[in-house]
């Protein structure tokens, strides 16, 4: 596959101030350094004792990184690929279970809020302050624990001065990514920020069966908007509210038969266990999808959510509350077995999370935090394979409801024994509950009338 061959970037009126996080840091960042909040307090990346990498928003734009799958170009020990949603691998640790019963090995977060569905994580990067990638198990600093690490997307907070910005890039395969941002203060204590994004690209594949009534484009056609409000009546009290909405559309068809690249790979065709033969076909020939597709494939998903973060500081103690509620709706139709039969997936999800933390800091030798976390997700889904068992049959797996619930408490403390020598310890307790109700069913349907009749079920 070919990557973008060129990109043009345009930026208009940019009056944004420095990050609110940077204003709270005890030291100003130098060239090449960045202020991070990986340890739940503001600190310089160079002086944060955590295995992590942080990439600033401007660096994302300059590098042409517009979605999570491109992060591995700037972050070591990280791989993010598309499968059933995003599959995140950190230091070789990963999870291939993207279903409702599975938990990813790496937690994906936006502004510290955990996104449970890998399908909901495929968001476009727009108006981003920075991306923090933590390597290794996390459980004593974050409400949601993980075994491989954390990918945390931090969006830009509202500023207390007017500003506007626009960024546009265009590349081959009609790849278009555009972002528009406007920041408006409403007095000395309240500010608002609105950011909108469009992210489109044609398919890498060539349609080799143009008369089958099935098209391949566009592979991606996403539109998103985010509204943020910051209320800061005093330096010690702040409330951040963020609401977002995304329409994720496109055609998920993105593969061709392996036989277009290799011969001698079929069953019984390698009597002496010889290696497959690479055909070395012309790239345009190799990426041509010539087989007739069973149906028009498309993705039509909707993501929306709200979150709020309250911070109150009294002396050396800071109280933080982080709450969120999200809904997702998935409607996806695809072709399986290189177009031999079709599959469809429909699902509705909601999730809520509540997190409370109490942090103790200051200039003394002790730094500590304790917290509690609650998470619940509920979904109803249905996945069907059409015509797999014969004409006009639907073989599927309806499941409703699927429930996941997590309750946990955690804490961590760091004590400076002597200058430049510190010891850190943490503890966590988690209780998880998962349940799923569903069947394996065979349906018969009349494709002309688009009506379905239950034929039987098997548990």
Residue 335 is part of a domain; what is its CATH number?
2.40.170.20
Band of residue 95 on the pLDDT scale cut at 50, 70, 90: confident
Q: Residue 15: is its pLDDT beyond 50?
A: no
Supply angle C-alpha 289, 292, 296, rounded to 5: 95
Band of residue 273 on the pLDDT scale cut at 50, 70, 90: low
**What is the Cα–Cα distance from 414 to 408, expressed in whole angstroms?**
21
For 249, other C-beta atoms within 10 Å of its C-beta total 17
| DSSP 8-state symbol, 15 | -
Residue 262 lies in a domain: no
Q: Of all residues in the chain, what percent carry a pLDDT higher than 70?
A: 84
Q: Residue 225: is its pLDDT beyond 90?
A: yes
Residue 238 lies in a domain: yes
What pLDDT score does 143 carry? 78
Tracing tokens 């998103």 back to the chain, one arrives at: 224
Residue 194 lies in a domain: yes
The pair of structure tokens assigned to 24 is: 């709270």
Query: Which residues, in sequence order, are bridge partners of residue 305?
Result: 244, 326
Q: Which of 20-34, 102-116, 348-362 has the lowest mean pLDDT?
A: 20-34
What pLDDT score does 359 carry? 92
Band of residue 21 on the pLDDT scale cut at 50, 70, 90: very low
Compute the Cα dihedral for 291, 292, 294, 300 and give only its sign. Answer: positive
Q: Residue 394: is its pLDDT beyond 90?
A: no
**What is the Cα–Cα distance from 282 to 277, expressed in whole angstroms?**
15
User: Cα dist. 381→117, 249, 346, 361 in Å?
Assistant: 13, 19, 6, 46
| DSSP 8-state symbol, 360 | E
Q: CB within 8 A of 64, min separation 6: which ones? A: 4, 7, 70, 169
Residue 413 lies in a domain: yes
Tell me if 243 sits within 8 A of 227, measured CB to CB. Answer: yes
Q: Which of 51-60, 63-72, 274-283, 441-450 has the lowest mean pLDDT?
A: 441-450
Residue 287 lies in a domain: no
Q: How many domains does the chain have?
A: 1
Q: Residue 173: is its pLDDT beyond 80?
A: yes
pTM of the predicted model as reported, rounded to 2 decimal places: 0.83
What pLDDT score does 229 carry? 98
Q: Residue 436: is its pLDDT beyond 60?
A: yes
52: domain range? 10-253+293-458
Q: CB within 8 A of 46, min separation 6: which ones? A: 33
Buried b (16+ CB within 10 A) or exposed e, 296-309: ebbbebbbebebbb
Q: Residue 159: is its pLDDT beyond 70?
A: yes
Helix or strand (DSSP H, E) at 283 = helix 283-286
Q: Which of 97-111, 150-164, 269-283 has the lowest mean pLDDT?
A: 269-283
What pLDDT score does 353 carry? 96
Q: Average pLDDT, whole number, for the chain?
A: 83
Compute the Cα dihedral for 282, 286, 291, 297 and give only its sign. Answer: negative
Q: Which of 53-62, 232-241, 251-260, 333-342 has the lowest mean pLDDT?
A: 333-342
Residue 95 lies in a domain: yes
Q: Which of 241-255, 259-273, 288-302, 431-445 has the lowest mean pLDDT?
A: 259-273
Strand ranges, E, within 361-420: 366-386, 393-396, 399-418
Query: Which residues, in sequence order, are bridge partners of residue 150?
Result: 107, 134
Tell me if 243 sits within 8 A of 226, measured CB to CB. Answer: yes
**φ, ψ of residue 443 in degrees (nearest 5):** -110, 150
Residue 259 lies in a domain: no
Helix or strand (DSSP H, E) at 286 = helix 283-286
What pLDDT score does 446 carry? 66
Band of residue 449 on the pLDDT scale cut at 50, 70, 90: very low
């Amino acid at each position: 596959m070919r990557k973008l061959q060129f990109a043009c970037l345009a930026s208009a009126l940019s009056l944004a101030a420095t990050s609110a996080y940077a204003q709270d840091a005890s030291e100003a960042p130098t060239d090449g350094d960045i202020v991070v909040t990986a340890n739940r307090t503001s600190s310089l990346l160079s002086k944060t004792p955590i295995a992590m990498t942080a990439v600033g928003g401007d660096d994302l734009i300059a590098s042409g990184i517009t979605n999570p799958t491109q992060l591995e170009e700037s972050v070591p020990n990280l791989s993010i690929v598309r499968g059933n949603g995003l599959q995140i691998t950190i230091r070789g640790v990963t999870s291939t279970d993207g279903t409702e019963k599975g938990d990813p090995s790496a937690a994906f977060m936006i502004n510290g809020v955990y996104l449970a569905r890998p399908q909901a994580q495929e968001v476009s990067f727009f108006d981003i302050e920075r991306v923090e990638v933590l390597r290794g198990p996390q459980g004593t600093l974050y409400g949601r624990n993980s075994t491989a690490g954390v990918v945390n997307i931090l969006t830009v907070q509202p500023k207390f001065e007017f500003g506007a910005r626009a960024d546009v890039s265009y590349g081959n395969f009609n790849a278009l990514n555009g972002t528009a941002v406007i920041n408006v203060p409403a007095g000395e204590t309240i500010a608002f920020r609105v950011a909108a994004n469009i992210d489109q690209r044609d398919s890498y594949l060539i349609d080799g069966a143009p008369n089958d009534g099935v098209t391949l484009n566009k592979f991606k056609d996403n539109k998103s908007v985010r509204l943020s409000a910051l209320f800061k009546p005093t330096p010690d009290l702040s409330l951040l509210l963020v609401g977002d909405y995304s329409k994720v559309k496109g055609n998920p068809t993105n593969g061709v038969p392996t036989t277009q690249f290799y011969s001698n790979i079929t069953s019984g065709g390698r009597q002496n266990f010889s290696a497959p033969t690479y055909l070395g076909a012309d790239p345009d020939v190799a990426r041509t999808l010539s087989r007739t597709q069973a149906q028009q494939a498309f993705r039509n998903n909707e993501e929306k959510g709200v979150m709020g973060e309250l911070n109150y500081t009294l002396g050396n103690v800071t109280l933080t509350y982080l709450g969120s509620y999200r809904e997702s709706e998935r409607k996806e139709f695809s072709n399986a077995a290189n177009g031999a039969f079709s599959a469809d997936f429909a699902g509705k999800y909601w999730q809520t999370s509540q997190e409370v933390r109490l942090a103790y800091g200051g200039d003394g030798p002790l730094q500590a935090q304790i917290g509690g976390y609650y998470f619940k997700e509920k979904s109803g889904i249905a996945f069907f394979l059409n015509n797999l068992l014969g004409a006009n049959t639907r073989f599927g797996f309806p499941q409703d409801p699927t429930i996941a619930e997590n309750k946990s408490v955690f804490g961590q403390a760091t004590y400076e024994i002597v200058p430049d020598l510190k010891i850190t310890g943490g503890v966590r307790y988690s209780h998880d509950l998962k349940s799923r109700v569903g069947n394996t069913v065979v349906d018969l349907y009349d494709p002309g009338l688009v009506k379905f009749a239950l034929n039987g079920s098997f548990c």
